[in-house]
Structure 1
Amino acid sequence: MMFASTGILSLLLSTVLAAPAALVDRDSPSYVPLDAECPSESLVRAASGLSTKEEAYRVSRKAVADEALKSWLVETNSEFRTDELPTVALSSSGGGYRAMLSGAGVIQGLDARDSNVSTSGLFQAITYHSALSGGAWLLTSFAGNNYPTISSLAYNLWGLAIQDSLLDPQALGALIDYLTIADEIALKQSAGFDTTLIDVYGRLLGYQLYEEADGGAGVTLSSITGFSNFTSHAVPYPIITALGAKVWLGQCSPGPNATTYEFSPFEFGSWDSDVSAFTPTKYLGTSMKGGNPVSSCTTNYDNIGYIAGTSSDIFAGELCTQLSDPNSELVTGMEQILVKVHEISTSDQYATYRNPFYEYQSSTQVPNPANDIGDQESLSLVDGGVALQNNPIFPLLQPARKVDVLIVNDNSADTSYNWPNGSEILTTYVQSFNHNLTRMPYIPPVDTFIAEGLNTRATFFGCNESSKITIVYLPNADFTFASNVSTTQLSYSEAEQAAMIANGVQIVTQGGKAGWGTCLGCAVMMKTGQTLPDDCTSCFAEYCYYQ
């Protein structure tokens, strides 16, 4: 999850939006959504499987990934057979900058372009990569810059941007043109679109996450489909998650059984039974009714910084509870922020999207008249991890994606010392039954996690469950640096960033432990039915959790 620091956010945003409007160069890439001609194909489909485009990418990426997996396995241990190869995925948790930097180290340790350790090359064998909140900052920065190495991002972008945090009032004016941001948001509002705190927040994040001088004002999630590493199927398919808040029921923040929404380069939507539909990401922002556009279509709404802000919007719950006091400092701050743009309402705390599924009945949907999302003209989305599911696993349990092995990097701050304790992945296991997701392996109670030290070292879940995916659980741990940094820490020196990333490499290599590469290969290959190296027997004894 992100950080609960609304006082800082209010001060920052009031500084931004109180500024006089600047002039935006309308010939340059703009944050403002655009009118566009609608495509010939339908803009909404039932969630009966993958879209044609995602399925084509999955197949092509799997072919590339298989070759990389063969090479990594043979180099790791020549006894591995590679006649049948599983589909491998990666999940990057939330946790603010802690998750972003630690998760970056995990990727670096998997990326053959950027490291020479026992796990180097496995990133090239991954077909899907999901993320939320701080993990979404990492993934959108990685994907939005056409997948450079982590070393390149850290040196060329993050070092200065995160050292002088754009969310820290003391650093105001260091790197950003705040007047332009204010004007961009005012122009979006004047174009007929709702603007909220998350518009400002997402634009500020853009200056940390994207290398463009304007902070990625014109970079959209759907534009990734034209990037060279994507078109060559050289990278995993990215998925960002957020949760829906049922504000029409008076709900401030989503509960554990909340609707999970996915953002990917091709589509936005949800597999959950109360939506069970998808729409092209490129046309987010289009006014829809019954699955059809009301008039013209909209493009450029899926700004990648706005989506990163959506997935890390933890402010909603805190803001909502304080709005009941009209004299609170927060309400006063919000008035200063937004009164010049529009009349303040509770919707300003959420990332707002026109509901593509308004009055649409999916053939796979299970209607619920008590809280029918299809009756709402807009969706209010928040941080993907606020409902105690800080690891975005649900998208990778979908049978259509055919994931066999999932590497889960958990950077949650569950304990008072900001370490994970298994509660987040346990909630995912419990809630998987409510979402009819049958491939989640058994996860033990938190007491067991702590008693057996599963929250401090790598663990394989699902070892003896042939019908479940295998989860390789990699919790945040102190190998070379005290990486249990508070989620509220808003800036990191370049030395701290480097230390966090280096410790992330240690997490994925388990401190460079001898034989770990083979054991990880054993986990990847355990359910293929092929003869495994003899070393796998001791690996499973050490790392498998058996119920």
Structure 2
Amino acid sequence: MKALHILCASAAVLAQAQAIWPFDSGSSSSTNSDSTETSQPSDDGESWFQSVVGNFGGDGSESSSTEGAASTDDSNPYAPFNTTCPSGSLTRDANDISDLEKNYIQKRQEITNKNLIDFLQKKSNLTDFDAESFINDNAKDHNITIGLAFSGGGYRAMLCGAGQLLATDDRFEDANEHGVGGLLQSATYITGLSGGNWLVGSLVMNNWLSVAEIVNGSSSIWQLEDSILNPSGIRIDKTIAYYYGLREAVLAKEEAGFDTTITDIWGRALSYQFFPDESGGENITWSSVRNMSHFEDHTMPYFMVVSNARKPGDLIINENSTVIEVSPYELGSWDPSLNAFADVEYLGSSVHSGNPNDTNICVRNFDNAGFIMGTSSSLFNQVLLQLGNYDINSVIKSILTGLLSRLSYAEWDIASYEPNPFFGQESGESVAMIKNETLYLVDGGEDLQNVPFYPLIQNTRDVDVIFAFDNSADTDESWPNATSIISTYKRQFAQQGKGTPFPFVPDVETFLDEDLSSKPVFFGCNASDLDALITWHNNSDVNATDVPLVVYVSNHHESYYSNFSTFKLSYENAEKYGAIRNGFEVMSRNNLTDDDKWLTCVGCAIIRRQQERFGQEQSDECKQCFKEYCWNGGVKEAAAVSSASGLSEITGLRTSSAHSTSSSTATSSPASSETTSKTSSSSDNESTSSENSSSSKQNDGVINKGQPSFFFLLGNLLLAILAN
């Protein structure tokens, strides 16, 4: 019967193939709709990268040797199933990091301390600096804690971020010779959002796979030549079988009694590109990483991915959104609106105030890894508002426009977490969120915080320095313009963000005028300049030395134009490896040729907060590094914040009448929002508005609820064909 369904559906799709597939999956280069500028890797010079380029473009036919951890149920691998409940509550208040995280960090930092000593001694090679005594003598008081944060931006962010990550990974020998190899091994935390989640998630869920293994073809994941919509190219029969498999998985979850949304389909589709097994990770859960060898031996950083929660009925997401983080152990938020965490392994269980309604019936397998990655990237929720700007078939455009007119206020852009793991939770201030039977999560970048800083600026994690990799598409040419970091900076002056100090940063105009994207830039170089922020946050437990220094690394052209559209769905090998190579060179300062002191300066950034904490003078060479890389605008030149935020404690801080730090209500309908004007600081954060020069956002980040993704709708069209 299944074969008959596939055969009939194949015939139906073949009859309309021209209409169904609006993208050319066989293109060998970017089009104007994909990238403003394109190039092949430069042939000038004999760089290290060309010594391994022969391994690039491996056919990926070898099966991956990476471990995967499966659920215990084989009958319906994607469907959640009932199990007995563990003892105690399934939730906790967000007063501190969990004991499980504390234990992991303690053991992880036994490793990172040794690696950091090695990095500072052999790579940074700091003058008159005893790395071993500096690290070990102060370890009882404070271990230097490094965080890496990878932005959203679709496959562009995944690939550019992969190159940036590769430059920090000492498992790749060229990173040791021409990059900052060992920084990754010295990092305690790593975070990802949307496309950055695809990067982080696919590596950790394949047992801490190295990007080098993907590059040289020893791992078969990230086969991107064919679109996720048409993964088998001209083999329509295989494509229909693929969609049939998606349908069966989602129906299995539905038949098990759980609400399903388009994010289930999206997550399942993504998984076929991220997991090497034939089922596309159908039975791999997020919590199962706990049983993988490289998590058990603490060789991978503690990882977290980011989504946003939306209160039921709200039409907007802005700086007062609730930021949700998902770690190997927990899902939840530090924000006062929720202020709680739930055990990720038992998501799907019916609870009240964290206590199971029936102690004999809890749920496992709800936390499918693809579903979690799909949740963080349930993106493109504005794409249909600008259908006229996209080169898609007119038949599809007509169908989607008709669907939009009927579904514009439906919940098509969300992931449904039902039952709500925080139902009845008393720690949160949002009555609507804790009284609703469903927790609704959306793309992590929809509040404009497209770089996942938020987990790393929680004071309880004691992060000293954050290496932030921004691969957003904020400008008309799809390059970053610092909207993401500005949004996180501004959020600290809103109710949700108070208590999480973040360094001063410039506005978009300054960032562009001073060409701050052309090389890494350090923010918050001197803790003494941050006293005004500490005064504002008014927390006696937080000192200026507790505010992380931020090393902001922005995507830009080195050897390849990697400014692809967020909505580019297929990549030829030359494009994939070109973007990875360019990312490597962005982080390595062009293989250390643009600045042969870059490794030294990275070391100076890492040790800065610890030096300030213990009153140690900065060396002359580090002072020179900071002169080269620090933005010293401070309070008087920082990006303006809302005058409504009551910042009288900080004299000299520029304010504006803009209400970007307060909640507001969207009044325009999807039809009318096409005419909204575009501001210079609007960011893509996985939305259409910055991917197309004529598209826009409303009210500095206000996003309408329920605007369905083109990808999801098209998938549902095919599924509807299968169902008939």
TM-score tier by shorter-chain length is 0.7 to 0.9
What's the counterpart of residue 248 of structure 2? Answer: 183
Deviation, 1:438, is 3.4
**Cα–Cα, structure 1 residues 437 and 455, in superposed 2: closer, same or farther, change >3 Å?**
farther
**Cα–Cα, structure 1 residues 526 and 29, in superposed 2: closer, same or farther, change >3 Å?**
farther
CA contact (8 A) 1:11 1:169 kept: no
Q: In structure 1, which of residues 83, 105, 130 is the aligned counterpart of residue 191 of structure 2?
A: 130
Counterpart code for 1:32: A
What's the counterpart of residue 280 of structure 1? Answer: 343
Whole-angstrom distance in 2 between the partners of 1:284 and 1:507: 39
- Indicate yes or no: 2:573 matched with 1:494: yes
- Indicate yes or no: 2:315 matched with 1:268: no
Counterpart code for 1:420: P
Aligned identity (percent) is 38
**Cα–Cα, structure 1 residues 444 and 330, in superposed 2: closer, same or farther, change >3 Å?**
same
**Cα–Cα, structure 1 residues 345 and 292, in superposed 2: closer, same or farther, change >3 Å?**
farther
**Cα–Cα, structure 1 residues 315 and 417, in superposed 2: closer, same or farther, change >3 Å?**
closer
What's the counterpart of residue 102 of structure 1? Answer: 160
SS of 1:460's partner is strand
Whole-angstrom distance in 1 between the partners of 2:100 and 2:430: 30
Q: Deviations over 1:314-348 (max 9, x none)?
A: 144557999xxxx9733866999x9xxxxx99234
What's the counterpart of residue 234 of structure 1? Answer: 299
Whole-angstrom distance in 1 between the partners of 2:111 and 2:76: 33
SS of 1:130's partner is strand
Counterpart code for 2:472: S
Counterpart code for 2:374: G
CA contact (8 A) 1:157 1:209 kept: no
Q: In structure 1, which of residues 125, 141, 146 is the aligned counterpart of residue 207 of structure 2?
A: 146
Q: Deviations over 1:396-435 (max 9, x none)?
A: 1111111110000000100000011111110110002221
What's the counterpart of residue 437 of structure 1? Answer: 499
Whole-angstrom distance in 2 between the partners of 1:216 and 1:489: 23
Q: Describe how 1:68-83 pairs up with structure 2 within 5 A.
A: 68-76=115-123, 77-79=125-127, 80-82=129-131, 83=134
Q: Describe how 1:430-469 pairs up with structure 2 within 5 A.
A: 430-434=490-494, 435-466=497-528, 467=544, 468-469=547-548
Whole-angstrom distance in 2 between the partners of 1:276 and 1:159: 36
- When structure 1 is superposed on structure 2, of 75-84 and 164-173 the one drifting more is 164-173
Counterpart code for 2:336: S
Q: In structure 2, which of residues 580, 593, 604 is the aligned counterpart of residue 522 of structure 1?
A: 604
Counterpart code for 1:501: I
Q: Deviations over 1:115-134 (max 9, x none)?
A: 32240011000001111000
What's the counterpart of residue 393 of structure 1? Answer: 453
Q: Deviations over 1:466-506 (max 9, x none)?
A: 51210000000101100111111111111211111111111
CA contact (8 A) 2:221 2:274 kept: no
What's the counterpart of residue 322 of structure 2? Answer: 259
Q: Deviations over 1:15-59 (max 9, x none)?
A: xxxxxxxxxx97367111011111002101000101110111111
SS of 1:500's partner is helix
Whole-angstrom distance in 1 between the partners of 2:283 and 2:84: 19
Whole-angstrom distance in 2 between the partners of 1:26 and 1:46: 31
CA contact (8 A) 1:159 1:494 kept: no
What's the counterpart of residue 91 of structure 2? Answer: 44
Counterpart code for 1:464: N
CA contact (8 A) 1:410 1:473 kept: yes
Whole-angstrom distance in 1 between the partners of 2:280 and 2:502: 38
CA contact (8 A) 1:160 1:494 kept: no
CA contact (8 A) 1:285 1:353 kept: yes
- Indicate yes or no: 2:413 matched with 1:349: yes
Q: In structure 1, which of residues 376, 382, 386 is the aligned counterpart of residue 436 of structure 2?
A: 376
Q: In structure 1, which of residues 482, 489, 503 is the aligned counterpart of residue 582 of structure 2?
A: 503
Deviation, 1:220, is 1.0
CA contact (8 A) 1:87 1:405 kept: yes
Whole-angstrom distance in 1 between the partners of 2:208 and 2:231: 30
Counterpart code for 2:559: T
- Indicate yes or no: 2:624 matched with 1:538: yes
SS of 2:313's partner is helix
What's the counterpart of residue 17 of structure 1? Answer: none
SS of 1:49's partner is coil
What's the counterpart of residue 4 of structure 1? Answer: none
What's the counterpart of residue 710 of structure 2? Answer: none
CA contact (8 A) 1:310 1:382 kept: yes
SS of 1:129's partner is strand
- When structure 1 is superposed on structure 2, of 468-477 and 174-183 the one drifting more is 174-183
- Indicate yes or no: 2:483 matched with 1:419: no
Q: Describe how 1:1-20 pairs up with structure 2 within 5 A.
A: none
Q: Deviations over 1:247-269 (max 9, x none)?
A: 323x2x52232111111110001
Gaps of 5+ in 2: 1-16, 22-71, 136-142, 388-396, 529-543, 635-724
Gaps of 5+ in 1: 1-7, 13-24, 339-343
Whole-angstrom distance in 2 between the partners of 1:390 and 1:376: 27
Q: Deviations over 1:368-420 (max 9, x none)?
A: 45xx3111110111110011110010111111111110000000100000011
Whole-angstrom distance in 2 between the partners of 1:528 and 1:445: 28
- Indicate yes or no: 2:287 matched with 1:222: yes
CA contact (8 A) 2:379 2:413 kept: no
Counterpart code for 2:627: A
CA contact (8 A) 1:159 1:497 kept: no
Q: Deviations over 1:437-460 (max 9, x none)?
A: 333111111111111111221001
Counterpart code for 1:290: S
CA contact (8 A) 1:87 1:402 kept: yes
Counterpart code for 1:349: D
What's the counterpart of residue 57 of structure 1? Answer: 104
Q: Deviations over 1:132-171 (max 9, x none)?
A: 0000010110011001210212424567621112234783
What's the counterpart of residue 480 of structure 1? Answer: 559
**Cα–Cα, structure 1 residues 368 and 216, in superposed 2: closer, same or farther, change >3 Å?**
closer
Counterpart code for 1:102: C
**Cα–Cα, structure 1 residues 159 and 236, in superposed 2: closer, same or farther, change >3 Å?**
closer
CA contact (8 A) 1:243 1:258 kept: yes
Counterpart code for 1:215: G
What is the number of equivalent residue pairs in this alignment? Answer: 510
**Cα–Cα, structure 1 residues 126 and 447, in superposed 2: closer, same or farther, change >3 Å?**
same
Deviation, 1:507, is 1.1
What's the counterpart of residue 341 of structure 1? Answer: none
Q: Deviations over 1:165-202 (max 9, x none)?
A: 22347836657733222111111101110111111110
- When structure 1 is superposed on structure 2, of 470-479 and 433-442 the one drifting more is 433-442
Whole-angstrom distance in 1 between the partners of 2:384 and 2:345: 30
Counterpart code for 1:306: F
What's the counterpart of residue 651 of structure 2? Answer: none
Q: In structure 2, which of residues 128, 135, 147 is the aligned counterpart of residue 89 of structure 1?
A: 147
SS of 1:56's partner is helix
TM-score normalised per structure 1: 0.88
Q: Describe how 1:185-224 pairs up with structure 2 within 5 A.
A: 185-224=250-289
**Cα–Cα, structure 1 residues 335 and 486, in superposed 2: closer, same or farther, change >3 Å?**
closer
CA contact (8 A) 1:157 1:208 kept: no
**Cα–Cα, structure 1 residues 534 and 493, in superposed 2: closer, same or farther, change >3 Å?**
same
What's the counterpart of residue 22 of structure 1? Answer: none
Counterpart code for 1:133: S
